[in-house]
Every structure is written in structure tokens, then in C-alpha cells.
Amino acid sequence: MEEMRSNFIHDIIDEDLKDNPSLKIHTRFPPEPNGYLHIGSAKAIWINAMTAKKYGGLFNLRYDDTNPSKEDTEYVDSIYEDLKWLGCEPSGGIYYGSDYFERCYEFAVELIKAGKAYVCDLSADEMREYRGTLTEPGRESPYRNRSVEENLELFERMKRGEFPDGAKTLRAKIDMASPNINMRDPAIYRIVHTNHHRQGDKWCIYPLYDYAHPIQDALEGITHSLCSIEFENHRPLYEWVIDNLGFENKPKQREFARLNVTHTVMSKRYLRKLVEEGLVDGWDDPRMPTLSGLRRRGYTPSAIFDFVSRAGVAKAYSVVDYELLEHCIREELNETAERRIAVLHPIKVVITNYPEDKVEYFEVANNPQKPECGTRRVPFTREVYIDADDFAEVPPPKFFRMKPGSEVRLMGAYIVKCNEVIKNSEGSLVEIRCTADLETGNGMPTDGRKVKGTIHWLSSSFAKDTTVRLYDFLFDIENTADIPEDKTYDDYLNKASVTEIRGAKIEEALAEAPAGERFQFVRCGYFVKDTKCENVFNRIVGLKDSFPKAQK
């Protein structure tokens, strides 16, 4: 994988290294295990993992499992599998936020003793009311000036489970008049009587992310906490926690713009809804923006990171065209994918002047881009299949494929002439009858005549049946951030996001291909053997690249 290009984050690190040349760069990726990772997660992984790699440092995976009501071991496992698939196994180790529950509790007690935290009885709605607005300061809680002794006693009782959910919180005592709302005595502990996926029923109070995260970073020796831009306004609280708990290691939080992609929703809550309501075939549905969905669709880690790299590292909001992602995988597969023949909408063609019992083989290149990939032998017989799109009984202008009375080249084999169209009693096409110029083989006519069209084909005796799935965008609105207030994501679900073609024909070798292997189906696009459904091929991307060259 190519080294990450320099960006504003690296400029910050370079300055830090000037001041402290012995600094060992240490980054982390802290996903909440409440869903599967998506293409936006890939940017955070790439920035943190590749930054650590560039500077010869360490990269941690830390599960942010401080919200037990939404977490599941299924998500824990899937996150690690995605990191391994991306080639970003954590060099600094794997950790869990729940590993630090005891330390977070101890630090909270320190804050109470120092008069910097208090137990508050305001409800969530009351806290919002007291919080103030962007233009008006907040009001102090009536419980703000409880004594240290009372706060310690109440916090201990919270820990023992004596109060119901939402009855009390522990709040940092900072500044209710701060222009930054996040600094107006934020809650740092809440009561949640729910079983934890690792801790069981040991705890019924849980630290909030803004409090727990800086503690976890400091304890793990993180030097640079690189996160998305929505945490920028939370940075003063991050630094307040670090400073007021007296950590010698003071990690720096720095923020970058999230990865927003056209026709895509990144909300894990909504993606979970799609899964739970059966609107998609699980988290790994090839239409989903999840990494497992992209993997099943046939995308590669290198193409995904190439896409993220080209999208860039900046702080400004932007939406990246999905076609750039398609361009990245198409560019890769054009070099690496072997060619095979598939006829998606087969029509039988009978070569009337070819012997019924004869089989001959033609050599076809595995990848014209790479002669070193060699060739394979494709069988030819009297009856072959061509694609319905390659025949027109009444052709439009400049139609150079098969049509009555005209010649066309069967790719790598004979030139044939369409002589007769056979239909059934209902007028539907049954077969096409042709004659072959048996002198041509896969060469040119001896009389010098020109044949413009070339179409792909398969022997009907050797072709195998398969199912092919063609995918389109899951949402038919370009920028899902532009959905009107009276609409929801549901209103823009693309009902034609998948087309299933049964009875498509493929080469024999494709039927035996292992799941997950990628091919170019000649003249059809790039496809992958599905990893979940037997004898199914998913289209990764079409052959046509419409992404503007200036942006590639």
C-alpha cells in the first residue's frame, strides 16, 4: 500500500516532532460496536493507521463500548474482520473502553474530591432547559453546590444501583456561561441498568464518551487523537479532562472532515433499520455502504484506500462523487481481473453449415492488458449463445452487431451471416440461423471484405447456467443531506437498486471459480463470485467510466 501523502495533520505532527524529536507517534481508531463499519469509517482507519505507519509509530484499535444498550459482540467481531481485510491490523494492540471503567470511576472520584464534579438530579429535559442557547448562557443546576461529601455518597449509591435510569448524572463543574455549550457542566456519568457485552452486570453507571475518551487516550499513550470534524467543538472538553486529571501524557485531538459520498447514507442507525426491516440482505448486502457490503460487492482494500486518498484530507465539508470510487476499482480491475465470457440474455444461434458433432477450440487471451497471463481454450460448436442485446431484427442506424442479411464476427472465431429468424406461434424469437465463413477461423476474410461488428458468444453444449445481479445506487437522491424536512431516507430508496438475471450463461471455468474471485465479463463489466449465495455473480462495476478525467 502506497505511503500516505502529506496533509495538514502531518504538518501538525512534523511541528510536534521538531519540538520533541524522540516523540513516538501513536494513533487509534475508536469505533462504537453498535453496527458495521462503512466507507466513512475507512477514512478514519486510513488516516490513523497510515499516519502511524508513515512515522514508524503505533496504531491501536479501541472499541468504544461505553453504551451497553446498543452494543453486540457481532459488531465487535465484524469491526476486527474489516480492519484485517483492509490490512490495518492494530500494531499497538486491541483495547476496549470497558477495560478502563475502574480507572474512569477512580478519576471521577478525584474530580468530586477536587470540587470539579457534582451529582445532579435534573432530568434530561431539565438539563437541556438549563443549558442555554448559542446566544444565551446557561443556568446553574440547583444541585451544583452540593458538598464534596454529599457528592461522594450519592455517586457511590449510583454505583451500587440505588437509583433508576435517568434519576441522576455526574456532571463536570466547568462554566455554565461558556460560549461553548459543551463546556456548560457536561454530564460525564449516567445510570444505565443494562447488561454489558463484556462486563455483564458489574456496572450500572457508565462514563460518557467525551469524558472516557481522553482518559483512554492518555492511558494508552496516544499522541494524536485524530477524529472527524463534529468533535472539533468537543476539543476544549477533551483538553479539560486531560488537564484536570493531571496526565503527563497529553494527547492532541485534531479533526478532519468526514467522508460524505453521493447516493449514500452513513447513519448506522438507519443502516441498522434497513437490516432489521429486511429491506436489504443483511449488513453485507452489496448495495450497502458498509465495508462488508463493499467486500461482498467485489471492491478491494486498495481501491477503497485509493478512493479515500483521492478524496483528500481536509477540514472543509464536501461530498465526493460515488463515481470516483467506481473509477478506482475499475482502474484496478482493468489491470488485474482475468477476462471470461458470460451471456446475460442468451439467444440460441445455429450455424447451419457447421458439423453437428464437431468441437473445436479457439485461443482467447486471459487479459489483453497482460500477455503474461496467457490464454485459454474456448470450445466452439454448431449451436452457440449470443446476447439478446447483440441482435436486432429491425436494427437502428449504425447497428454493427447481428442483423438479418449481414455479417458479424464471433469474437475470436468465425465470421457468420444471419440468414433466418425462427419464432414460435406467439411471435417470440426461438433461434437464429446463420452460416459461417469457415475459411476465416479467427482470421480475416481472404477476399478483403470488411466486417465491422464483433460480438461475444458461448457454445450451448459447454455453457453453464448462473444467476447474475446488477446493482444500482441504494438511494436515488444524489446528496442525502439535502432531503427536505418533510421527507425521510425511506422516500428516496431506489426500488430498482438490484436486478436479478436468472439463466445467464457462463464459461465452464466460471462455474468452478472460488467465491470472492473477480473477473471481467467481456463487454459486460466486472463481476465477483458471491460469497453468500451459491452460483451467483455480482456486478462490481460496469465497463464505462464516466468520471471526469480532470478529477481522477
Contact 533, 502 (CB under 8 A): no
Closest CA to 513 of 334, 413, 348, 376: 376
For residue 342, give the C-alpha cell: 458470460
Give the whole-angstrom CA distance, residue 194 versus residue 164. 11
Beta bridge partners of 461: none
Query: Which residue is it, cell 436486478?
Result: 499
CA torsion 190-193-195-200 (nearest 10°) is 80
Which one of 32, 239, 331, 478 is the catalytic residue? 32
SS3 category, 345: coil
Distances (CA, A) of 278 to 19, 75, 76, 287, 392: 55, 18, 22, 13, 40
Query: Which residue is it, cell 468452478?
Result: 512
For residue 304, give the C-alpha cell: 477503497
Beta bridge partners of 472: none
Residue 59 has φ and ψ, to the nearest 5°, of: -135, 125
Residue 454 has φ and ψ, to the nearest 5°, of: -135, 130
Indicate the helix (H) or strand (E) that contains 332. helix 322-336
Q: How many other CB atoms are found less than 10 A from the CB of residue 93?
A: 12
Q: What is the full DSSP assignment across 443-473?
A: S--TT------EE--EETTT-EEEEEEEE--
Verify whether residue 71 is a known catalytic residue.
no
Type of residue at 405:
G
Q: How many other CB atoms are found less than 10 A from the CB of residue 179?
A: 10
Give the whole-angstrom CA distance, residue 124 versus residue 168. 9
Give the whole-angstrom CA distance, residue 194 versus residue 169. 16
Q: How many other CB atoms are found less than 10 A from the CB of residue 242?
A: 20
Which one of 144, 159, 258, 310 is the catalytic residue? 258
SS3 category, 424: coil
Verify whether residue 32 is a known catalytic residue.
yes
Give the whole-angstrom CA distance, residue 368 versus residue 258. 39
Which one of 146, 268, 297, 401 is the catalytic residue? 268
Indicate the helix (H) or strand (E) that contains 297. helix 291-297
The sign of the dihedral angle between the CA atoms of 66, 71, 73, 74 is negative
Query: Which residue is it, cell 494492540?
Result: 93
Q: How many other CB atoms are found less than 10 A from the CB of residue 7?
A: 15
For residue 205, give the C-alpha cell: 453507571
Give the whole-angstrom CA distance, residue 344 versus residue 248. 64
CA-based R_g, the chain, Å: 31
Residue positions annotated with a catalytic role: 32, 258, 268
